[in-house]
Amino acid sequence: MNEEQSVAESPLVLQKLQENYADALLAHEETRDGVAVVVGKDDAYALLEYLKTEAELGYTYLVDVTAVDNSQLESELVKYDYARFMVVYHLYSYQGCCRLRVKVPVHERDLRVRSVTSLWRGANWLERETYDMFGIAFEGHPDLRRILMPDDFDGHPLRKDYPLRGRGERESFNFETQNV
Amino acid sequence: MHAELERATGEKMVLNFGPQHPATHGTLRIVLELDGESILKATPHLGYLHTGFEKLGEHLDYNQFIVVTDRMNYLSPLSNNFGYVLAVEQLLGIEVPKRCQYIRILMAELSRLADHLLWLGTAALDLGAFSVFLYSFREREKLYSIFEKTTGARLTTSYTRVGGVLRDLYAGFDEDVRQFITNFPKALRETHTLLTRNRIWMDRTKGVGPIASEDAINYGLTGPCLRATGITHDIRKAEPYSSYDEMTFEVPVGSNGDAYDRYLVRMEEMVQSCHIVQQALDNLPDGPVNVEDNKISLPKKSDAYGHIEGLIHHFKIIMDGHGVQPPVGEHYCATESPNGELGFYIVSDGSGTGYRIRIRPPSFLNFQALPHMLEGGMVSDTVAVLGSLNVIAGELDR
């Protein structure tokens, strides 16, 4: 009885996801900026596709794709089996005027996530940036190159083990052979 | 412009546009593959102005990062300041006093005017309309004088603080701004007479670089570029933040999603911004401009020098690791910046420094749609389309 009541009060998107993707959802919460859900890597693409195409939800606008390196955030690490990275998708529904955050834990031993470029063309550069900054490979991406850093750059700057002042890029940057 | 001929095929020519072309307004580079004068393929290359803002965010405390936000969209630093502190405040769960909200809206709308004016001047200049550039820069100069008097700087304003603003408005602010918004519509009319029905301007922009509304959503376009396609979406209306719910204004939309509509939308947005400024001035409440919480905003100078509590609070906020400390958690906050949705996604580990600060820049996603708008068009349209998008390299590359 109590459980039913709480389900009825939760936002439509959570109800829908709990109906259709109950097994895929690792966690969910209602936050001040909307709804946040955590899904397993294998179910992420199907869930995002569902969110985009389901007429009642209409999350047609992919706001952002990014990642967080949780290696120094113990509280997050323990929750998701010590997965180092969290790929974060922000979605927006024009019809419901509501936001949704979808988070996908990614282990360092298998840094591959299926690309959503086939759903949103806007994901192209966002995924490239995430690849560039964190080294997460998006499978099925049409053009997975670095975007902000030079092509021959070594390392992924937004990882927590990358030092703020770099690893001697200025000293070792070769202007003559640099192929931009 | 440096051009190189690809002689192997004899037909296709590769043209390198930028990164130091005057019409790129910064360091943008596009490699165009041409067949005669029509564009087969456009490939943007970016990163020339990459400064590592997000990495810096993990090493600066919450108030120090405001300085970095000035340098993102350097045409409207006040909007960036506003968007960022709003995200931190929502993470903290605090709300600033009404007067502060109104001051922030005033400054954000004035900076929208300044941003659109610079866009108007340079976009017209790129297409050869030199007088428009002079008119719009004349008006923009007046705004920059107001910014300088209010914040102490023309460009690196750093006006907001977590929990408030740097200082209250100066004594003659009301008069200066009222004078500006009284004279500004006349300047805007002058521009309309120069451009809106101008045969050359219409030929160069009408039907140039069009994008359909479904494609615009699919690419994640926001701001004037999205509204030009006919979608009535403005974050100030859809998710009113600060005190925007108390303001009456219209959201102008276009219909064709071409460069001309983007021009018209921006022109009308300037009129609407003037309305908002007028309302905010008329209803500007009295009261403090900072939250009265000594753990968040600095105490008055007289307290810091005259009382031990004031001194301790001042010391605690300024000292590394003692300042503003939001609870563990994460938050995404979007504001309607002049170019579109400017979002900050902040992950906090409970310390005085953000664990991860992600900036969702409008220019990055707007620029991504450029090949879609260019391909199939003429090479001379590149400048017109690029100008109409108002891509700011500082925000694009961060």
What confidence tens digit (pLDDT) does each residue in A42-70 have? 889 999 999 898 888 889 999 999 999 99
Give the mean model confidence (pLDDT) for residues A8-24: 79
Angle formed at CA B373 by CA B25 and CA B264, multiple of 5 degrees: 70
Enumerate the residues of chain B whose CB falls inside 8 A of the CB of residue A158.
Answer: 54-55
pLDDT of residue A103: 93
pLDDT of residue B352: 86
Give the mean model confidence (pLDDT) for residues A76-105: 90
- Residue A178's pLDDT band, with cuts at 50, 70 and 90, is low
Q: Answer whether A147 sits within 8 Å of B239, measured CB to CB.
A: no
Enumerate the residues of chain B whose CB falls inside 8 A of the CB of residue A97.
Answer: 238-239
Rounded to whole angstroms, what are the CA distances from B145 to B41, B77, B142, B166, B290? 43, 15, 5, 17, 24
Contact of A167 with chain B, judged by CB distance below 8 Å, is answered with no
pLDDT of residue B268: 93
Stretch 81-140 of chain B: residues touching chain A, C-beta under 8 Å: 90, 93
State the smallest CA–CA distance between residue B30 and chain A in angstroms.
12
Give the mean model confidence (pLDDT) for residues A96-119: 91
Q: Which single residue is written with the structure tokens 């494609």? A: B215
Q: Answer whether A94 sits within 8 Å of B368, measured CB to CB.
A: no
Q: Answer whether B365 sits within 8 Å of A122, measured CB to CB.
A: yes
**Interatomic CA distance for residues B378 and B370, integer angstroms:** 13
pLDDT of residue B303: 86
State the smallest CA–CA distance between residue B17 and chain A in angstroms.
14
- Residue A5's pLDDT band, with cuts at 50, 70 and 90, is very low
Res A4 pLDDT > 60:
no
The residue ranking higher by pLDDT, A19 or B341, is: B341
Res A177 pLDDT > 70:
no
pLDDT of residue B22: 66
State the smallest CA–CA distance between residue B47 and chain A in angstroms.
4
Closest chain A residue to B366, measured at CA? A122
Question: Which of A34, A148, A162 shows the shortest C-beta gap to B50?
Answer: A148
Stretch 314-343 of chain B: residues touching chain A, C-beta under 8 Å: 328-334, 341, 343
Handedness of CA B306, B307, B312, B314 (dihedral sign): negative
Hey, how many other C-beta atoms are within 10 angstroms of the C-beta on A30? 12
Q: pTM of the full predicted structure? A: 0.88
Angle formed at CA B376 by CA B375 and CA B379, multiple of 5 degrees: 80
Q: Answer whether B368 sits within 8 Å of A158, measured CB to CB.
A: no
Contact of B238 with chain A, judged by CB distance below 8 Å, is answered with yes
Pairing of strands A85-93, B329-337: unpaired
Q: Answer whether A66 sits within 8 Å of B345, measured CB to CB.
A: yes
* Cβ partners under 8 Å of residue A171, min gap 6: none
Q: Kindly tell me the burial class for residue B181, based on how many C-beta atoms sit within 10 Å of its own C-beta (0-12, 13-18, 19 or more).
A: middle
Q: Answer whether A158 sits within 8 Å of B54, measured CB to CB.
A: yes
Hey, how many other C-beta atoms are within 10 angstroms of the C-beta on B20? 12
The residue ranking higher by pLDDT, A102 or A173, is: A102
**Interatomic CA distance for residues B360 and A170, integer angstroms:** 27
pLDDT of residue B2: 43
What is the CA A3 to chain-centroid distance, rounded? 30
pLDDT of residue A173: 65
The pair of three-digit structure tokens given for residue B251, joined into one six-digit string: 């959201």
Contact of A84 with chain B, judged by CB distance below 8 Å, is answered with no
Amino acid in the structure at residue A106: V
For B132, phi then psi, to 5°, come to: -60, -40
Low-confidence residues in chain B, pLDDT < 70? 1-10, 21-25
Contact of B48 with chain A, judged by CB distance below 8 Å, is answered with no
Stretch 115-144 of chain A: residues touching chain B, C-beta under 8 Å: 120-122, 124-126, 129, 133
Q: Answer whether B50 sits within 8 Å of A149, measured CB to CB.
A: yes
Stretch 36-65 of chain A: residues touching chain B, C-beta under 8 Å: 36, 60-64
Evaluate whether A109 touches A133 at the Cβ level (below 8 Å). Answer: no
Question: Which of A32, A69, A126 shows the shortest C-beta gap to B331?
Answer: A32
* Cβ partners under 8 Å of residue B224, min gap 6: B262, B265, B266, B269, B338, B339, B340, B390
Single out the residue of A92, A45, A27 nearest to residue A64, CA to CA. A92
State the smallest CA–CA distance between residue A149 and chain B in angstroms.
6
Alpha helices in B61-212 (DSSP H): 65-70, 77-92, 98-126, 130-151, 173-195, 199-205
* Bridge partners (DSSP) listed for residue A86: A68, A105
Residue B371's H or E segment, with its range, is helix B370-374
pLDDT of residue B3: 47
Evaluate whether A146 touches A133 at the Cβ level (below 8 Å). Answer: no
Contact of A75 with chain B, judged by CB distance below 8 Å, is answered with yes
